[in-house]
Structure 1
Amino acid sequence: MGDDMPYAGESDAGKFSPPWPEVRELGRLVWDHLVLVTPLAPGEVILAMGCHDVRVAVHAARLWHEGWAPLVVVSGGRGKITAGWEETEAQVFARVAREHGVPAEALLLEETAANTGENITATRSLLAARGTPVRRGILVAKPYMTRRSLATARLRWPEVEWLASAPEIGYETYLGEDARRFLELMVGDLRRMVVYAERGFQVPMPVPEAAWAAHLRLAELGYDRHLIR
């Protein structure tokens, strides 16, 4: 089964042939909870959270051009999706940002982070070493990573007022690009929000019953590759 056709055959577990209308609606319930963007206000830094989707870097560049902050930090080493990249996520994001008009002097690379928590803590250490004070920061992430990014930043760097922004990419667009990977990542992220809050890695954010039930059903249907056991 191709990644863009999660309804066409069996799942990875070889047990299910999920009905696509049900899968689509379940995914939307999870998406609606995970997406949390905030109104913007001027700050000291735009923090682009490294990932496989370079549109995050494009959006960070857009915010810089709009004057929301004078500095863009691109953070990311290699993660579960980008492990095979020749460059770090930060290097790729920095190149994309420069291609979209962000000058080198307004860019800072953080190339060690392998997860969301490290995006925050490593950037905090980097800016502290440079003597750059931060009172308000703008997190830029994939839409469905905005809530988890905020929950993590509010615990790992609580002195900062954190806002969240994301590329204007809709649910249906992600489904059309790589539906299986997209749904698997969302299922994993929703579970992580609960487990990581319990472990003290991020602030707790209550999950609506409908979203929790949807993620359980998607996992049951085979979209469980990134699910914490």
Structure 2
Amino acid sequence: MAISDVLVMQKARILWDYHDTGTPLAAADAIIGLGSYDLRVADRCAELFLSGLAPRVVFAGAMGNWTRGMFASSEAHAFADRAIALGVPAGVISLEPKSTNIAENISFVRALLPDAQQVIWVTKPQTRRRVSATLLVNWPEVTSMIAAPAHDLAAQPSAHHPLEALISEMVGDVWRMAAYTKKGFQASQPLPPAVRIAFDTLVTAGFTHHLPPGVRSLEQ
């Protein structure tokens, strides 16, 4: 079934708003940048550090499907290089270059920060809900604040990750909200009717590249 570009963008905006959750920021023990294809996360980490919100920065991430071949080394190393170029002293940065998913990001960083009580997590705008839900299972004792680069849906696509890939990513992460809760990987999240409809519409439109093979519904 053909679906208009206008309808696609309407439904994409619903998913963007659903994923793009955040919290007020305050002073913390560390700023943690979660690695990905989006170096603007490192830029935001540098901005928050230089504003004085925390005395140290941790970058986490090995190399995933979307970043294989993109960076010379791990996502964590690439993000650290970017932050240093923006004025963050190398001596305040720690690296966790082995994690390959959000749960590992959190668990491995937790081992680096055993005494942390309050931390700021920086991720892509469309990943904030998954980070928040995963923290509730993997590090509930710490007070977590969730931040992201401050831009809207129109500015998120890039040459490396264009709009079609972004929409597929958001669709796939809605499915993970339900599937990963069942597996115990993250805390349950509400799935409002509008989000379910947007998911179904975008799956029908073919934005399925971030879903497991054969999965086409939230119940699978």
Q: Partner residue of 1:106?
A: 92
CA displacement, residues 84-132 of structure 1 (integer Å, 9 cap, x when unaligned): 233110010000000111101110110001111111011112333xxxx
**1:168 equivalent among 150, 158, 163:** 150
What is the rounded CA distance, in whole Å, between the counterparts of 1:169 and 1:80 in structure 2?
24
**2:42 equivalent among 57, 76, 81:** 57
Q: How do residues 1-229 of structure 1 correspond to structure 2 at under 5 angstroms?
A: 17-85=2-70, 86-128=72-114, 133-175=115-157, 178-228=162-212, 229=215
Most deviating of 119-128 and 158-167: 119-128
What is the rounded CA distance, in whole Å, between the counterparts of 1:159 and 1:60 in structure 2?
23
What is the rounded CA distance, in whole Å, between the counterparts of 1:172 and 1:41 in structure 2?
28
CA displacement, residues 172-211 of structure 1 (integer Å, 9 cap, x when unaligned): 1225761101101111111111211111101111111101
What is the rounded CA distance, in whole Å, between the counterparts of 1:69 and 1:103 in structure 2?
13
8 Å Cα contact 1:154/1:162 also seen in 2: no
CA displacement, residues 25-51 of structure 1 (integer Å, 9 cap, x when unaligned): 010011111011110111101110110
8 Å Cα contact 1:34/1:145 also seen in 2: yes
Distance 1:193 1:30, change over 3 A: same
Residue identity (%): 36
TM-score of the aligned structures, taking structure 1 as reference length: 0.88
Most deviating of 179-188 and 81-90: 81-90
1:108 is paired with a residue whose SS is strand
What is the rounded CA distance, in whole Å, between the counterparts of 1:146 and 1:60 in structure 2?
15
8 Å Cα contact 1:61/1:101 also seen in 2: yes
Pairwise CA distance, 1:17: 4.7
Equivalent pairs counted in the alignment come to 210
What is the rounded CA distance, in whole Å, between the counterparts of 1:212 and 1:73 in structure 2?
35
CA displacement, residues 122-168 of structure 1 (integer Å, 9 cap, x when unaligned): 1112333xxxx110111101111111111111210111011101101
What is the rounded CA distance, in whole Å, between the counterparts of 1:175 and 1:110 in structure 2?
26
8 Å Cα contact 1:30/1:212 also seen in 2: no
RMSD: 1.3
Structure 1 unaligned regions, length at least 5: 1-15
Most deviating of 170-179 and 60-69: 170-179
What is the rounded CA distance, in whole Å, between the counterparts of 1:103 and 1:116 in structure 2?
26
TM-score of the aligned structures, taking structure 2 as reference length: 0.91
User: Partner letter of residue 9 of structure 2?
Assistant: R
User: Partner letter of residue 139 of structure 1?
Assistant: W
Structure 2 unaligned regions, length at least 5: 216-220
2:57 is paired with a residue whose SS is strand
